[in-house]
Structure 1
Amino acid sequence: MVDLVIHLADFPLTALADPGQIEQVLMNLATNARDAMPDGGRLAITTERKDVGKNVIGAQGFRATGRYGLVTVSDSGTGMDESTRAKIFEPFFTTKEKGKGTSFRIYLPRVDELVEDVDPEREAAEPQGGTETLLLVEDDADVRALAGTVLREAGYRVLEAVDGQESLERFQAQAKEIDLLIMDVIMPRMGGREAYDRIRELDPGVKVLFISGYTADALDSKGVFGNDTRFLAKPMSPVQLLQKVRAILDGTG
């Protein structure tokens, strides 16, 4: 078991940053930390205020002095060498070589005041939930649990299946209840694409969102799956998942 420890600063740290990208970075780091601790360990996330002066610019690689919000992600698992650190932002890159743990620090330039103006387009892009019934098909138990939690907290009813064969059986039993399929492409027994094609024979109008650890281009090159707007590459952020699900249900994505 991995113990998650979070220490947040006692005061707001306001930065100009894309919340979705920050969420994605933290998710990638947490995933790598989990894979580096197969026997359990400790994952710590901390935030703090950090002021950078001229004396540390050259030594630490900063481009400018100033006020920063520091986010530190630490684990007690395997360490990172130089080549590993260069790949940390690549989805699904992990290492299991022995080491002494990893601490990864993210410095975000702080702003003095919180900007209150709301961009109408950005506000409209905030993910919306719903009450529809979704069939989530994913063989990775961790991914399935996380996605299921995100969707349920947004109000959706979520049915689950561990592979394409089980999804076909569940759809045959509950076809009238299911509004959308969320299907991993590569799974044991029966993949998502084959399962979707067979389910579509039962309901030609069924809606689907494909997900995969491979990109759409990579799947297309393997002859498994073509580039489709109803596709998300894993790991996706909760915001990305909710936005895509809502768009497909509403017929806008």
Structure 2
Amino acid sequence: PGNYALLTVRDTGVGMDKKTLERIFDPFFTTKGLAKGTGLGLASVYGIIKAHGGYIDVESKKGQGTTFEIYLPATEKEVIKEKELPVELIKGEETVLLVDDEDMIIDVGEQMLKTLGYNVLTAGSGKEAIELYKKNRDKIDMVLLDMIMPGVGGGETYDRMKEINPRVKVLLSSGYTIDGQATEILERGCNGFIQKPFNMKRLSQGIREILDS
């Protein structure tokens, strides 16, 4: 019920069969193989749309392409443009371990962290992050950790790091909301949560809140 804005995305590609269509929003489901895709793209899209109170429908036929219809709640309220204030970034000089299985997020995140003054180590998987932390625990001041990763996920990575160093400081990140799995990890002692996509200001605040605590 209510008014919705409709965004339609359509292609004329190979399409999908019914069996594939039923699983496309499942985390880690992919038709590309492990070396070419993690199967998290559409799962993240689904999570973001649901978090905004929306819906997504998909129709596809083999050999005829695919159509996605995204419904987002509409409002009749007047948009009031907020006065833009100078963005105050809180910088630092500590070392941050950035963990994410998406190359693009690693590249962008590393640049953001370096702009904020931090030294950066990167890991593209939970397994790599654990080994890197084990070797550099005395140098790493904080970990920026992706929650959803294939293989060793964010929750298990956090638990393993905490075994290595019970005082490890971790900022958990995800395209999903803080509900569910993120809350469970926070209840186990994780220091904070930041939802993707995040801007420089929010990242700088989230990091300092943890490092200065």
Taking structure 1 as the reference length, what is the TM-score of the superposition?
A: 0.50
Say whether 1:142 aligns with 2:104: yes
* 2:157 aligned with 1:176: no
- TM-superposed CA distance for 1:141, in Å, is 1.3
1:196 is aligned to: 158
Cα distance in 1 for partners of 2:88, 2:118 equals 17
Amino acid at match of 2:173: I
Superposition misfits of 4+ residues, deviation over 3 angstroms: 93-98, 107-111, 224-229
Q: Which amino acid aligns with 1:144?
A: I
Give the Å deviation of 1:248. 0.6
Secondary structure at the aligned position of 2:209 is classed as helix
> How far, CA to CA, are the matches of 2:196 and 2:160 in structure 1?
24
Deviation for aligned residue 1:108: 6.9
Task: Give 1:176's aligned amino acid.
Answer: D
- Contact 1:183/1:192 (<8 A) preserved: yes
The letter of the residue matching 2:193 is F
* Secondary structure of the corresponding residue to residue 201 of structure 2: helix
Q: Contact 1:168–1:199 (CA<8 Å) still a contact in 2?
A: yes
C-alpha displacement of 1:173: 1.2
1: CA distance, partners of 2:182 / 2:166: 23
3-state DSSP of counterpart to 2:111: helix
What is the percentage of aligned positions where both structures have the same residue? 33
Paired residues for 1:1-253 under 5 Å: 90=52, 97=67, 126-219=88-181, 225-226=185-186, 230-251=192-213
Unmatched tracts of structure 2, length 5 or more: 1-6, 12-48, 59-65, 69-78
Quickly say closer, same or farther: Cα 1:126–1:168, change in 2 above 3 A. Answer: same
Structure 1, unmatched stretches of 5+, are 1-31, 38-86, 99-106
Higher radius of gyration, 1 or 2:
1
SS in 2 for 1:242: helix
Cα pair 2:170 2:192 within 8 Å, conserved: yes
Q: Give the structure-2-normalised TM-score.
A: 0.58
Q: Distance in 1 between matches of 2:81 and 2:164?
A: 54
RMSD: 3.7
| Aligned 8 A contact 2:186 2:192 in 1 | no
Deviation of 1:212 after TM superposition, in Å, equals 0.6
Aligned residues between the structures? 151
Q: Secondary structure at the match of 1:188?
A: coil
What residue identity is the alignment partner of 2:157? A
Distance 1:200 1:226, change over 3 A: closer
